[in-house]
């Protein structure tokens, strides 16, 4: 029996890699399993010598790990692009969200604004500063622990507005996705993959990586809230 390919991924890509891993096992007879956690946690594991073959992570973190020699040269590639979206609790009024003024108004009206510890969360904090609202909103920002979806704070009332990757918000219960941030305030993240230098099966790991970035995987990627990096 073929040895299982072990993958690590961020939470944002978990719905995609989980579904695609099942297809690879079924259609290509390559046993593969992904373990997903917050991006910061996954990067820490890799630096501490995690025994895995394949990595899917935000491009900035992926590039840093490649620079440190932890990924095989020539295997790092972009896979998918994700938009940050806003969400509110189910049953709450849905604010207008078609312009920068609408976004500003929604932020100012919110009593609690949830965001992640990852790149999308930092991008939101930077955007709020660019809008000139950092001082006014500082005490309303709620950063979730690594691996905890920002939208999970909405049903409990710990926040009334949440921002995170679409893939992490779209399937949460009792949460309504408003949509992507409007116009020039849009926040996009690229997720990529690479074969770990510590992999004991780099050949099959490359095959899995190629499938993740293939046209055959693109419909799953779109259904799960992202789109292929190539289009």
How many whole angstroms separate alpha carbon 106 and alpha carbon 127?
Answer: 14
Q: How many helices (H) and strands (E) does the chain have?
A: 9, 10
Task: State the virtual CA torsion across 94, 96, 98, 102 in degrees, nearest 10.
Answer: -120
Interatomic CA distance for residues 104 and 108, integer angstroms: 6
> Do the Cβ atoms of 30 and 208 come closer than 8 Å?
yes
pTM over 0.95: no
pLDDT tens string 3-54: 899 999 998 899 999 999 999 999 999 999 999 998 889 999 999 999 899 9
DSSP designation for 71: B
> Is the pLDDT assigned to residue 231 strictly greater than 70?
no
From CA 120, how far away is CA 14, in angstroms rounded?
Answer: 16
Return d(Cα 167, Cα 113) in angstroms, integer: 19
Helix (H, G, I), strand (E, B) or coil at 164: strand
The contacts of residue 45 (CB under 8 Å, 6+ apart) are: 8, 37, 52
pLDDT mean over 119-138: 94
- Domains, the chain, with CATH or none: 5-81+190-228 (3.40.190.10), 82-185 (3.40.190.10)
- In Å, how far from its chain's centre is CA 183? 21
Residue-wise pLDDT for 67-126, tens only, equals 999 999 999 999 999 999 999 999 999 999 999 999 999 999 999 999 988 788 899 999
């Amino acid at each position: 029996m073929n040895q299982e390919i072990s993958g690590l991924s961020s939470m944002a890509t978990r719905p995609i890699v989980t579904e695609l891993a099942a297809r690879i096992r079924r259609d290509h007879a390559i046993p593969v399993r992904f373990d997903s956690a917050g991006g910061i946690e996954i990067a820490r594991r890799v630096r501490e010598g995690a025994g895995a073959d394949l990595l899917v992570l935000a491009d900035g973190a992926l590039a840093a790990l490649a620079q440190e020699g932890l990924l095989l040269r020539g295997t790092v590639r972009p896979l998918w692009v994700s938009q940050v979206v806003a969400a509110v609790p189910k049953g709450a009024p849905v604010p207008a969200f078609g312009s920068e003024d609408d976004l500003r108004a929604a932020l100012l009206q919110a009593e609690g604004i949830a965001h992640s510890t990852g790149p999308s969360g930092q991008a939101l904090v930077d955007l709020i500063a660019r809008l000139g609202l950092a001082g006014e909103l500082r005490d309303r920002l709620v950063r979730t622990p690594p691996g905890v979806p920002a939208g999970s704070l909405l049903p409990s009332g710990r926040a009334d507005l949440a921002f995170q990757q679409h893939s992490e918000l779209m399937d949460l219960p009792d949460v309504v996705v408003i949509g992507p941030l409007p116009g020039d305030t849009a926040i996009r993240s690229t997720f990529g993959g690479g074969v770990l230098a510590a992999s004991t099966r780099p050949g099959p790991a490359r095959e899995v990586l190629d499938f993740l970035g293939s046209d055959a995987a693109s419909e799953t990627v779109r259904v799960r809230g992202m789109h292929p990096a190539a289009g």
